Structure 1
C-alpha cells in the first residue's frame, strides 16, 4: 500500500505536491490536504487516492465557479461553459453545479425572474426578445415561458415607452399613419407581440394635432417635389402622390397638397 513520504508546498499559494513511496503522485489544495489529513507516513489505498483526486478536482471546479458567480448572476449553462474553458472535467463541473445549486447560488428560474424584473424596470426588450436572449444562455424555453406567463400585458408598457422615447421628435415630421407604422415596426423589432404593441401605442398617444399633421405633409411634400421636379407636370404629380401615399397621408391630404392648398405651387421651387 503506497505511503505518503513527502508533502511539499508549491510556488502557488494553497497548493501542495504529494509524494508516494518517494515519487511525485499528485497535487492537492490546502482544503484537500486538511480534509483527508494528508500527512507524511499515511497509507493510501488506490481507492482512497482516487477519492482524494476527485475531491480536489471538485473543489477546484467549485472554487472557479464561485468566483465566476461573484461578479454577477449566471445560468447553469454559462457556468458549465466557463468551467469547460478552464479544462475542468465534466464530472467535476457537474458536481460543482450541483453543489452551488443546492446552496442557492445557481438557479435558472430565479435568473429568469430577475432578468424579467430588471427589464420591466429599466430595459427595452419585449417578451420575444427576452426569450431569445435567455435561451441563448442555455435556459429551458419552457421555464422562461412559465415566468413570462405571470407578467400582465400592461406591465410591458414602460419598456415599450422607453423604446419609443426617441420617436417623439418625429411628431410633425411624419404623417400620423406613418409614425404609427414606424412605432409598430420598432416595437416588434424589440420583441413585443401585436397585442402589446397596440396597447403601448394607444397608451403613449403620440398622435400629432392638426397643425403638426399639416406640417408633416408640408415637409414630406417638399421632399417629394425636390425628388421628382425633373419630371413633366403630369408624371411629377403621380410620383408625388404615390410618395405621399406610401408615407401615410390620406387621399384628401395629398389632393390638398397637389392643389397648392398647403404650399402655393409656384413657391415650391423656393424650398
Structure 2
C-alpha cells in the first residue's frame, strides 16, 4: 500500500504524474485521475494500481485515436494499425475501437460511402478499382456493396467516356483497331466493367473517324517500319514491314498501297 504524496501536471495536457511515498510511481490521464480520486493523501495498493494502469492505457489509446481521426474519416483497420504503431496492447486496441464505434466516431460504412462519392466525383477510377481500394482498407464486402450503390451506371458511363476521350487523343497516331483495343484496355485497367465499356464504345462509334487521319497514321508508321527494316533486302523488307503494319490493325489494301509507294520512293 502506498500513499499519494504528489500529483504533478505533465507538459502534455490532460496527463499527470503520480508519486507514492515521495517517489514517482505512474502516469495517469485526467479521466483516470478523477475516476479513482487520485489526489494527495489517497491510498493506492497493487490491485488498484493495476486497474489504473489498464484504464490509463485505454485512455491513452483513445486519445491517440481521436487525434488520428481529427478532421478525417478513417477505416477501422487504419485506426487499428495506427494504434499498433504505438505498441498498444491488442486487447486495449479492441476496447478502444469498440468505444469509438459506440460514440459513432468510427463507421466503416460511412467511410466507404464517403470514399466512393469522392472517387466517383473527382477521379477516373471505375467501381472495381474503388472496391479493391476499400478491401485493402479493411472494409467488409457487405459495406463495400452498399457503398458502391452510390456510384450509378450513369455516372460510371460519364466518367468512362471522359477517360475514353483522353485515351483516344493519347493514341491518335495508332490505327483505329489498335486505338480501340488500347481504349478498352485502359478502361478495364481503371476498373470499369464490360457493360459500361460497351456503352462507351457505342458512343465512340457514333463519332466517325476521319479516313485521312487513318491514312496519315498509316503512312507515318509505315515510314518508321520501313526504315527500321532497312537491314533486310527486297521482298523480305517488304513482307516484314507489311506484317508489322497488319499487327497494328491497319487495313490490308491500304497497307499494300502505302508500302508500294515507299518502294517507289526508296530505290536504295
Question: Contact conserved, 1:120 with 1:158, CA < 8 A, in 2?
Answer: no
Deviation at 1:121, TM superposition (A): 0.8
CA distance in 2, matches of 1:14, 1:152: 47
1:3 alignment partner, SS class: strand
Gaps of 5+ in 2: none
CA distance in 1, matches of 2:238, 2:175: 19
Structure 2 length as normaliser, TM-score? 0.86
Please give the residue correspondences for 1:35-50 in structure 2 after superposition, counting only pairs within 5 Å: 35-44=35-44, 46-50=46-50
How many residue pairs get matched?
267
2:178 alignment partner, SS class: helix
Deviation at 1:142, TM superposition (A): 3.9
Query: Deviation per CA, 1:11-67, whole angstroms, max 9, x where unpaired?
Result: 444322223344433211233223433211223455543333332221211111111
CA distance in 1, matches of 2:8, 2:150: 57
Moved over 6 A (4+): none
Residue 19 of structure 2 aligns with which residue? Answer: 19
Deviation at 1:102, TM superposition (A): 2.0
- 1:191 equivalenced with 2:191 (yes/no): yes
Question: Contact conserved, 2:116 with 2:150, CA < 8 A, in 1?
Answer: no
Deviation at 1:247, TM superposition (A): 0.7
CA distance in 1, matches of 2:173, 2:132: 34
Deviates more, 1:186-195 or 1:76-85: 186-195
Residue 115 of structure 2 aligns with which residue? Answer: 115
Deviation at 1:237, TM superposition (A): 1.9
Over the aligned positions, Cα root-mean-square deviation in angstroms equals: 2.6
Question: Contact conserved, 2:164 with 2:200, CA < 8 A, in 1?
Answer: no
CA distance in 1, matches of 2:127, 2:144: 10
Residue 57 of structure 1 aligns with which residue? Answer: 57
Deviation at 1:233, TM superposition (A): 2.5
- 1:248 equivalenced with 2:246 (yes/no): no
CA distance in 2, matches of 1:100, 1:175: 56
Deviation at 1:244, TM superposition (A): 1.0
Deviation at 1:82, TM superposition (A): 0.5
CA distance in 2, matches of 1:30, 1:140: 36
Deviation at 1:204, TM superposition (A): 4.6
Residue 228 of structure 2 aligns with which residue? Answer: 227
Please give the residue correspondences for 1:127-166 in structure 2 after superposition, counting only pairs within 5 Å: 127-148=127-148, 151-166=151-166
Question: Contact conserved, 1:4 with 1:20, CA < 8 A, in 2?
Answer: yes
Deviation at 1:80, TM superposition (A): 0.7
Residue 70 of structure 1 aligns with which residue? Answer: 70
Residue 100 of structure 1 aligns with which residue? Answer: 100
CA distance in 2, matches of 1:192, 1:269: 49
